[in-house]
Amino acid sequence: MRRILCSAIALGCALALLAGEAIAQTRGARGGAASARAEAPIDLTGQWVAVISEDWRWRMITPAKGDIVSVPLNLLGQQTAEAWDPARDEAAGEQCKAYGAPGLMRGPIRMRISWQDDNALKLETDYGTQTRTLRFGESAAAAPGPRSWQGLTAAQWIVRGGGRGTPRFGSLKTVTTNLRPGYLRKNGVPYSDRAVFTEHWDVHSLPNGDKYLVNTNVVEDSVYLQAPFQTAIHYKLERDTSKWDPTPCDARF
Amino acid sequence: MGSNTMRREILIGSRVPPVHDGNEPLPVITTRRGSGAPRRRTRGSPSVLSWLVCVLTVMTGHAYAQVELTGTYAIRMYEDYIERGPGSYLGDFTGMPMSDEGRAKALRYSSSLPSTIERQCLAQSPWVGLYRPLALRFWSEVDDSGRVVAWVMAGDYLRDTVRIWMDGRPHPSPNAWHPSSGFTTGHWEGDTLVARTTHVKTAWIRRGVGIPASDQSTFTAFITRRENLLTITTIQEDPIYLTEPHVVSRVWEFDPRGSQGPLRDTCTVGVEIPSLEDTGEVPHYLPGQNPEEDFMVRAYNIPKEAAMGYAHTLYPEYRKTLRPVYTPPASCGRYCCGWIERQGLPGAAPGLTCNDGNLPAALKKAITSTER
């Protein structure tokens, strides 16, 4: 009798755990019953500054023409980078080619993230005065429209836990398409209009209250890359927003 | 009993360093009764205990939530290629928040210094894998109940594996003996393994450039696996040689074949420059006499301040200082190509000016023969 009782209790425990997880997963994935803002497992809002402690010479300043180290370009990509001509970009009104989403995120940026509405996050940068919208749920399925520097970004919370009083946590995954051809680096390292830019957004907190946003991202481009370009970029949350300094696109510096 | 003993040997016996202070593995916790163990009966208690276990399980189920990290992760060297590959240029401290003392010490660095026996392992420290060109490997050590007692990270150029204790043990006293890998504890925050490392030894932060880290350094590391990508972000604090936390984030990709081969877990020393042996000579530059102090100015038109590792040069507003004084070099002189140096190799595009960094002919030949 005792064995039966124990088995029943164990089964109940298992079902309770599974139910809690399932509830959390459903809530996270569905997005219909509650808005993306209400379901957010992490808070991305605020002003974040890129800490240029990696690749300083390629991110803080414009490197020399032909300096394409680290990027897995294929031959066409290398040839295209060798042909970079900022004057030509300026003449064509394409000073913002290095400010498209895949290049912009590695730039020396401050970005402000805020809720545009209940199902869209707005990402603004001072560097190049760009704006990207991260759209959740059905709003991401909107007609893509013409290609743009920031493209069309579909966002999805990756949610775990949260059932029956257990901690709820997660991250954000975004996939950006419909991009205008641009540069991964200021010196003309190219990506094409077929590029797909996938990002995983995590927020890490330190005991002293500091917060870091880590963006693990992959650029896939069958035209100019011979392998996915995978990097991680980190930003620090700024409480003092006074250093926000909008500057226009610049094809040279 | 015999099976428990064997399990301990398999799980931790062959990989655990000698038992020392707080770094020893906890005894294996046995929660299952052996076949010959006496059976204890407490009338009426099982159901109460079962309910208690049930409630605690449901309440704490996600406290133990974790991502499987076990496996080998291939390097994806798409950031800081030069630093992690051929090695940084002397005098290149860009992106570093160094103190005046750290800068002075780094400028005394000579390329012959690592050849002295006492300093051959200074380039190896916990989390140094973020500055190296090879793979990482993770595995877990579990107790008899299957609970993860520690995650272990091994990789190229580590002086020891980094064992991340997950069992709640406290960090030992500051004066406790500690291995080169330091002492690391961890816990899960959602899908991220958060590790904190103390008790490290004096080291160099970057490869081949002499940026120092003191034994007062601490690391907070965030380890996140998203699908096949592993991201490790380290925040290093050092009250001696850094003026603010030094943050690095890197990506590896899960390699199901573990094709990186054996990883070098330890640093070994040997005589590299016979003329230095037993002389007591310490290769160095006196203050102000390092001939490479201006290398970044000469090679890349970067203001000297920007190359000398001041914290304010890491932030976007520093571009205001750079704009009036910086012009890109007319051409790229060294280490310019894509992720692999291809000049003159199969696959190199004709007419490219991409410079191969003077790869040795033997290495070129080796790469060529491999690709063919």
- Give the residue with greater pLDDT, B265 vs A188: A188
* Whether residue B75 has pLDDT greater than 60: yes
* Whether residue B296 has pLDDT greater than 60: yes
List chain B residues with CB under 8 Å of A212: 222, 233, 235, 247
List chain B residues with CB under 8 Å of A4: none
- What per-residue confidence (pLDDT) applies to B50? 52
Percent of chain A with pLDDT over 70: 87
Q: Does the CB of A69 have a partner CB in chain B at under 8 Å?
A: yes
pLDDT, tens digit (0-9, with 9 covering 90-100), for A90-133: 999 999 999 999 999 999 999 999 999 999 999 999 999 999 99
Q: Which residue from B minimizes the CA distance to A200?
A: B226
- What per-residue confidence (pLDDT) applies to B181? 87
Residues 6 or more apart whose Cβ sits within 8 Å of residue A14: none
Task: Extract the tokens encoding B252.
Answer: 């590896």
Cβ–Cβ of B79/A108 closer than 8 Å?
no
* Whether residue B90 has pLDDT greater than 60: yes
Q: Which residue from B minimizes the CA distance to A83?
A: B352
List chain B residues with CB under 8 Å of A227: 339
Q: Which of residues 86-105 of A touch B (CB under 8 A)?
A: none
* Whether residue B343 has pLDDT greater than 80: no
Number of neighbouring beta carbons within 10 Å of residue B265? 17
Q: Which residue from B minimizes the CA distance to A229?
A: B78
- For β-strands B218-226 and A182-183, DSSP reports them as unpaired
B211 burial class (0-12, 13-18, 19+ CB within 10 angstroms)? buried
- Give the residue with greater pLDDT, B345 vs A43: A43
Cβ–Cβ of B226/A171 closer than 8 Å?
yes
* Whether residue B276 has pLDDT greater than 70: yes
Residues 6 or more apart whose Cβ sits within 8 Å of residue A151: A100, A101, A132, A176, A177, A178, A179, A180, A197
Number of neighbouring beta carbons within 10 Å of residue B280? 6
C-alpha separations of B45 from B56, B60, B223 in Å? 16, 22, 42
Cα of first residue to Cα of last residue in chain A, in angstroms, is 79
Number of neighbouring beta carbons within 10 Å of residue A29? 13
Structural Rg of chain A based on CA atoms = 21
Mean pLDDT of A166-180: 94
Check residue B30 and report its DSSP letter. P
Mean pLDDT of B186-207: 94
* Rounded-to-integer distance, Cα B179 and Cα B194, Å: 21
- Report chain A's mean pLDDT, rounded to a whole number: 89
Mean pLDDT of B46-72: 59
Instruction: Give the orientation angle of helix A2-30 with respect to helix B45-60, to 10 degrees.
Output: 10
Cβ–Cβ of A204/B222 closer than 8 Å?
yes
Cβ–Cβ of A245/B317 closer than 8 Å?
yes
Q: CB of A237 within 8 A of CB of A205?
A: no
- What per-residue confidence (pLDDT) applies to A105? 98
* Whether residue A7 has pLDDT greater than 70: no
> Residue A68: which of A239, A238, A229 has the closest Cα?
A229
List chain B residues with CB under 8 Å of A50: 316
* Rounded-to-integer distance, Cα A191 and Cα A103, Å: 9
What's the pLDDT band for A208 if we cut at 50, 70, 90? very high
* Rounded-to-integer distance, Cα A170 and Cα A156, Å: 10
- For β-strands A131-136 and A152-161, DSSP reports them as parallel
pLDDT, tens digit (0-9, with 9 covering 90-100), for B300-341: 999 999 999 999 999 999 999 999 999 999 888 778 875 444
For tokens 């991680």, the residue is A232
Number of neighbouring beta carbons within 10 Å of residue B206? 23
* Rounded-to-integer distance, Cα B102 and Cα B104, Å: 5
- Give the residue with greater pLDDT, B345 vs B246: B246
φ, ψ of residue B371 in degrees (nearest 5): -70, -30
- Give the residue with greater pLDDT, B77 vs A121: A121
* Whether residue B370 has pLDDT greater than 50: no
What's the pLDDT band for B188 if we cut at 50, 70, 90? very high
Which of A6, A187, A214 lies nearest to residue B231, judging by beta carbons?
A: A214
For tokens 């399990």, the residue is B7
Cβ–Cβ of B352/A78 closer than 8 Å?
yes
- What per-residue confidence (pLDDT) applies to B24? 39
B8-12, B58-62, B279-283: the lowest-pLDDT one: B8-12
What's the pLDDT band for B159 if we cut at 50, 70, 90? low
* Rounded-to-integer distance, Cα A54 and Cα B213, Å: 17
List chain A residues with CB under 8 Å of B234: none
Which of B50, B76, B224 lies nearest to residue A9, judging by beta carbons?
A: B50
What's the pLDDT band for B352 if we cut at 50, 70, 90? low
Amino acid of residue A129: T
Which of A54, A70, A78 lies nearest to residue B95, judging by beta carbons?
A: A54
Mutate to test the interface with B, among A230, A236, A238 (most CBs of B within 10 A): A230
φ, ψ of residue B295 in degrees (nearest 5): -60, -45
- What per-residue confidence (pLDDT) applies to B81? 86
Q: CB of B71 within 8 A of CB of B255?
A: yes
* Whether residue A187 has pLDDT greater than 90: yes
What's the pLDDT band for B220 if we cut at 50, 70, 90? very high
* Rounded-to-integer distance, Cα A124 and Cα A128, Å: 10
Cβ–Cβ of B78/A61 closer than 8 Å?
no
Mean pLDDT of A187-193: 98
Mutate to test the interface with B, among A62, A70, A225 (most CBs of B within 10 A): A70
Check residue B9 and report its DSSP letter. I
Which of B53, B57, B338 lies nearest to residue A73, judging by beta carbons?
A: B338
- What per-residue confidence (pLDDT) applies to A20? 43
Which of A17, A55, A187 lies nearest to residue B61, judging by beta carbons?
A: A17
List chain B residues with CB under 8 Å of A127: 316
* Whether residue B231 has pLDDT greater than 90: yes
pLDDT, tens digit (0-9, with 9 covering 90-100), for B248-274: 999 999 999 876 555 555 677 777 788
C-alpha separations of B83 from A68, A69, A140, B207, B311 in Å? 15, 11, 40, 6, 19
What's the pLDDT band for B173 if we cut at 50, 70, 90? very high
Q: Does the CB of A251 have a partner CB in chain B at under 8 Å?
A: no
Quick check: helix, strand or coil at residue A131? strand
Q: CB of A231 within 8 A of CB of B251?
A: yes
Amino acid of residue A46: G
pLDDT, tens digit (0-9, with 9 covering 90-100), for A39-94: 999 999 999 999 999 999 999 999 999 899 889 888 889 889 989 999 999 999 99
- What per-residue confidence (pLDDT) applies to B357? 47
Cβ–Cβ of A9/B329 closer than 8 Å?
no
